[in-house]
């Protein structure tokens, strides 16, 4: 253990010497000065572990030194030394923050006991501060580790989702890249609205997986070159519920699953599978229907060439209030045509869900 430093403050040289000698015999290191003013200068040079100060001194008395020490370094204990007839003054010093007082003339055991208690108090204060500091650092480190682990876990989830999206592209080659484009379009609209940041990854995953239920639809229906008959249409419509049933079993995709279930609902209630109307439809699904329709119109399909962006925008405006939420349409229409064309061309390869966090609008 390091040697502890005690500052002895007394205007009587003989007392300074006696006290210092007694304390040094116990292994303490002492510095002795004659008044509070000199004590201040000494403390500024080297902060002691304990101040042992007389009450009555010229230039600056013990009470004023005590008040200054409480401001300068409240963790350094101050023991006041006073004559027995000044006991009321000593009690006043306690009220002002002195750790203890010792009466003159000194009794060796009383001096050692008081000094020992004061220094033990200081050690406990320092240990507690160190413990708190270490604890805060530990919490910061653990929090950083946890944040990193969660980020890795989230990225692992998204890697899995991207693999599912690739599998769906292979099954439904007609709309290859559609999930990626719609996802980016959704996030662009959502950021412009804006929606709360925590909702963005929910929306992105829902948009990316909106057709995941088609994995269970027979290829004979999914890849049929001509129009579907009524039975085939009914079977195709099941993909919303199938996708929901798949995703809702995965805890981190449950919110996304609600959007997947509702992604074919129309604002006027004419959609499926539940015929939801207006704000009964999750906001993510109301955003999605516009993004989905936009990509369908401006993309090449086997039965037609891509339509001009101006035509797609006008069609979305025309269906405001019927197929689409008018408020979301207004947000969509506020975004320049060029934005959608540039976004479509610059999705990046390979497509990563994580890139959408940095999408500019």
pLDDT at 110: 87
Separation CA 291–CA 183 (nearest Å): 8
pLDDT at 25: 92
Burial 145-175 (b: 16+ CB within 10 A, else e): eeeeeeeeeeeebbeebbebbeebbeebeeb
Percent helix, strand, coil in the chain, to 5, is 60, 10, 30
pLDDT at 68: 94
With a threshold of 0.95, does the pTM exceed it?
no
pLDDT mean for each 10 residues of the chain (361 residues): 89 91 93 93 94 90 91 92 75 86 84 91 87 86 85 75 69 67 92 92 90 87 83 93 92 91 96 95 97 89 80 95 97 93 73 61 58
Domains by residue range for the chain, with CATH: 5-132 (3.40.50.2300), 172-358 (1.10.3210.10)
pLDDT at 356: 63
Q: Where are the beta strands (DSSP E) in the chain?
A: 5-9, 29-33, 50-54, 78-83, 100-104
pLDDT at 165: 67
- Helices 108-171 and 13-24 sit at what angle, rounded to 10 degrees? 60
SS3 category, 56: coil
SS3 category, 80: strand
pLDDT at 181: 87
Pairing of strands 29-33, 5-9: parallel
SS3 category, 101: strand
């Amino acid at each position: 253990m390091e040697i502890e430093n005690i500052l002895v403050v007394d205007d009587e040289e003989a007392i300074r010497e006696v006290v210092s000698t007694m304390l040094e015999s116990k292994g303490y290191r002492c510095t002795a000065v004659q008044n509070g003013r000199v004590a201040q200068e000494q403390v500024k040079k080297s902060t002691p572990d304990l101040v042992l100060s007389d009450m009555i001194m010229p230039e600056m008395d013990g009470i004023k030194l005590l008040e200054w020490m409480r401001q300068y370094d409240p963790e350094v204990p101050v023991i006041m030394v006073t004559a027995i007839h000044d006991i009321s003054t000593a009690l006043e010093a306690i009220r002002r923050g002195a750790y203890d007082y010792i009466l003159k003339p000194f009794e060796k055991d009383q001096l050692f006991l008081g000094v020992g208690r004061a220094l033990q108090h200081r050690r406990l204060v320092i240990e507690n501060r160190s413990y708190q500091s270490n604890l805060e650092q530990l919490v910061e480190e653990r929090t950083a580790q946890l944040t990193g682990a969660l980020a890795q876990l989230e990225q692992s989830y998204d890697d899995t989702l991207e693999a599912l999206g690739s599998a769906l592209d292979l099954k439904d080659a007609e709309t290859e890249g559609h999930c990626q484009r719609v996802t980016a379009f959704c996030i662009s609209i959502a950021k412009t609205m804006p929606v709360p940041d925590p909702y963005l990854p929910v929306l992105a995953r829902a948009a990316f997986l909106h057709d995941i239920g088609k994995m269970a639809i027979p290829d004979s229906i999914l890849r049929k070159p001509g129009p579907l008959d009524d039975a085939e249409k009914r079977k195709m419509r099941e993909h919303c519920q199938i996708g929901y049933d798949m995703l809702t079993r995965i805890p981190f995709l449950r919110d996304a699953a609600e959007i997947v279930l509702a992604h074919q609902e129309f604002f006027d209630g004419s959609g499926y599978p539940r015929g939801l109307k207006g704000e009964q439809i999750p906001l993510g699904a109301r955003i999605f229907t516009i993004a989905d329709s936009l990509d369908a119109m401006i993309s090449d399909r086997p039965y037609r060439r891509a339509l001009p962006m101006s035509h797609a925008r006008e069609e979305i405006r025309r269906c405001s209030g019927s197929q689409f939420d008018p408020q979301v349409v207004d947000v969509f229409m506020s975004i320049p045509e060029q934005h959608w064309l540039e976004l479509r061309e610059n999705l990046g390869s390979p497509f990563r869900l994580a890139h959408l966090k940095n999408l500019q609008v």
